[in-house]
Amino acid sequence: MVPKISTLSGYIFEYQKSTANPTEFWSNIADTFYWRRKYDEVLKWDFQKPEVRWFEGGQLNLTENIFERQIFYRGGQTALLWEPNDPEEEPRRITYQELFEEVQKFANVLLDLGVKKGDRVGIYLPMVPELVVAMLACARIGAVHSVVFGGFSAQALSERLEDAGIRLLITADGGFRGTKTVPLKAIADEALEQAPTVEQVIVYQRTKEDIPMKEGRDVWWHDLMAGAAASNEAATMESEDPLYILYTSGSTGKPKGLVHSTAGYMIYSAYTFRNVFQYSDGDVYFCTADIGWVTGHSYLVYGPLLSGATCVMFEGVPTWPDAGRFWDIVEKYRVNQFYTAPTALRSLMAMGEKWLEGKDLSSLKVLGSVGEPINEEAWHWYHDHVGKNRCPIVDTWWQTETGGIMISPLAGIIPTKPSYATMPFMGVQPVIVDSEGQEQTGNSVQGNLCISYPWPGMARTIWGDHERFRQTYFSTYPGMYFTGDGARRDEDGYYRIMGRVDDVINVSGHRLGTAEVENAINEHPLVNESAVVGFPHDIKGQGIFAFVVCTELSDGGEDGIRTSIRKTVSKIIGPFAKPDLILLVSGLPKTRSGKIMRRILRKVAAGETEDFGDTSTLLDPAIVDEIVEAATRTAGG
């Protein structure tokens, strides 16, 4: 088991060691895992290329570190406590032994279907234990999984399947979310019309709705599992073999498939999990994130299971049957560590404290936050009403690209401050730079956040486009990884994340590229062009504000076209990417070279009506007055 730091002086000591001698530090952590062959070299790196290789020469299988390494003493322990969407339905309790059996069987299913080491497998499933089984079965045989969040549309799914060259897709008839069912199979069928690489589809039965099965392509999960052999020997993987691909948005239109490694990711997800949450044997841990995002990968599946944790996995939504659902679950399973997103907290906060009344939350020890900056009001609400003033809050800053938590308190060890992610994790070397790349040393400084040294969990490349990987993360400030976030280091040396400094917006903890939303809007037949910016939103953190130039209005007038633009975005990306506000304008503020001045649009979206700075480089400065006038008129009416 990875070591656990338990005092502040221990943190200071270990952190110092981890930066003074990173290879010795990480090799000590790595040695607590099970290797089939020990690595020859701890780290080889060059941020110019960029190339990062951890534990080269090592051979292992990640699932052996979850199962074989722990099964003798943990076989009977609960791995997953699955809480269904409908509280009336039977929950499922799955032990490590049972999970191991399912994973081995499904690994054999994949092998029987001809899936080989290195093949990419697509997963488009609801939040059911079989999603975990599917991921671990891929890791068992060395296939690279790519999970696509169930909220993505057919078009978004097919784009990702095609980019990753997926041959086999695992999906379900549908999924339950609150009062809704999501027709996953129907969406997948539509996606597959445009994803010619997919030859086989495994369908898990969840909603039991009637769905068409395509002869020769679609097979039922339960039929395959019924005939599968029970034992499977894990494939031998190299340290740097890819474990998975996960797509995320960037500042250009095309989503990026970040590639995570086997050994480095395994070690980093497990070590951060145990230390940040201070998980102890016997604790019950509940992460509310969907496995379709990186939080679910690292802190619902890999980190916790590698640490032998008992995890609550919840299929539904926080507000159904009512806004007390999370607290019912905490009470029911006696949850000790609870990890969620600020947007969920703000929406529950808006519904009032009455939903917490009478719920026994006394089991809680640690509260976690992730995905976006947590504002002070939500922090205090979480601290006072959920944690009853006795649970430390770990505000964990990290990214899909980082693979695991980078800046965060260790629960109960590093003193917290509302809205501060506080201190770097072991081995993480943050640097704050100004726009010229000049490092801002000392305390009380602010600028762009970079990381100057590799850590084991970092993504190694963008699938199929290493040059884009270099361009996006390693070229802005040569020699450093650029996060895309702004940060402040205060007088105590504490880090506060200020939000994105690029064209990425964070809506309810979901990352969206403005260009991606613009491309979707521009698909609408009556749209000429558009510009999308984020604006402060009480619940979502940031909302989506779209400025749209139309060639003509449709039948329904302005409201009609707004509705149909939202439909278009839903269809192309997914419902969560629908613009909150759409302002129809006759033109966009562009410079003579055709660049949209987003800074002006961001101000308008934030409700400002003056002080737009220098607009003299605009092709048509009058357009600004017109946009402000339209925004004021719309806001007033």
CA distance 175 to 180: 8
Least separation in angstroms between residue 405's CB and ligand WT7 is 8
* Beta carbon nearer to ligand WT7, 157 or 407: 407
506 in Cβ contact with 543 (< 8 Å): no
* Beta carbon nearer to ligand WT7, 204 or 302: 302
CA distance 386 to 390: 9
Least separation in angstroms between residue 108's CB and ligand WT7 is 33
42 in Cβ contact with 23 (< 8 Å): yes
Q: CA quadruple 461, 463, 466, 469: dihedral positive or negative?
A: negative
Residues 6+ apart with CB under 8 A from 75: 95, 96, 97, 100
* Beta carbon nearer to ligand WT7, 100 or 302: 302
212 in Cβ contact with 115 (< 8 Å): no
Report how far apart, in Å, the C-alpha atoms of 77 and of each of 61, 82, 281, 284, 302 are. Answer: 22, 14, 10, 11, 17
Tokens representing 154 are 């057919």
* Beta carbon nearer to ligand WT7, 142 or 427: 427
87 in Cβ contact with 321 (< 8 Å): yes
Q: CA quadruple 105, 184, 462, 449: dihedral positive or negative?
A: negative
Least separation in angstroms between residue 500's CB and ligand WT7 is 5
CA distance 245 to 146: 5
- For residue 546, which of 507, 502, 592 has the smallest C-alpha distance? 507
Least separation in angstroms between residue 512's CB and ligand WT7 is 9
* Beta carbon nearer to ligand WT7, 330 or 512: 512
* Beta carbon nearer to ligand WT7, 490 or 529: 490
290 in Cβ contact with 340 (< 8 Å): no
Least separation in angstroms between residue 178's CB and ligand WT7 is 22
* Beta carbon nearer to ligand WT7, 10 or 499: 499
Residues 6+ apart with CB under 8 A from 360: 331
Least separation in angstroms between residue 410's CB and ligand WT7 is 15
163 in Cβ contact with 463 (< 8 Å): yes
Q: Are strands 256-261 and 481-489 parallel, antiparallel or unpaired?
A: unpaired
Terminal-to-terminal C-alpha distance of the chain = 61
CA distance 270 to 305: 8
Helix (H, G, I), strand (E, B) or coil at 204: strand
- For residue 600, which of 373, 591, 592, 529 has the smallest C-alpha distance? 591
Tally of residues, the chain: 637
* Beta carbon nearer to ligand WT7, 167 or 500: 500
Q: Would you tell me which residues interact with ligand WT7 (CB under 6 A)? A: 248, 293-295, 370-373, 395-400, 421, 483-485, 497, 499-500, 506, 511
Least separation in angstroms between residue 542's CB and ligand WT7 is 10
Least separation in angstroms between residue 559's CB and ligand WT7 is 32
* Beta carbon nearer to ligand WT7, 66 or 276: 276
Least separation in angstroms between residue 373's CB and ligand WT7 is 4
* Beta carbon nearer to ligand WT7, 271 or 333: 271
How many C-beta neighbours within 10 Å does residue 151 have?
18
CA distance 238 to 114: 21
Least separation in angstroms between residue 616's CB and ligand WT7 is 32
CA distance 463 to 492: 40
Least separation in angstroms between residue 283's CB and ligand WT7 is 22
* Beta carbon nearer to ligand WT7, 22 or 371: 371
CA distance 357 to 335: 17
* Beta carbon nearer to ligand WT7, 39 or 379: 379
Question: Which stretches within 21-142 are classed as H helix?
Answer: 22-30, 62-66, 71-74, 96-112, 129-141
Least separation in angstroms between residue 312's CB and ligand WT7 is 19
Tokens representing 70 are 């722990």
Least separation in angstroms between residue 515's CB and ligand WT7 is 16
* Beta carbon nearer to ligand WT7, 96 or 299: 299
Tokens representing 5 are 């730091």
* Beta carbon nearer to ligand WT7, 282 or 493: 493
330 in Cβ contact with 99 (< 8 Å): no
Least separation in angstroms between residue 258's CB and ligand WT7 is 9
Helix (H, G, I), strand (E, B) or coil at 45: strand
Least separation in angstroms between residue 416's CB and ligand WT7 is 12
Rg (C-alpha) for the chain, rounded Å, is 24
- For residue 365, which of 342, 339, 347 has the smallest C-alpha distance? 339
* Beta carbon nearer to ligand WT7, 262 or 400: 400
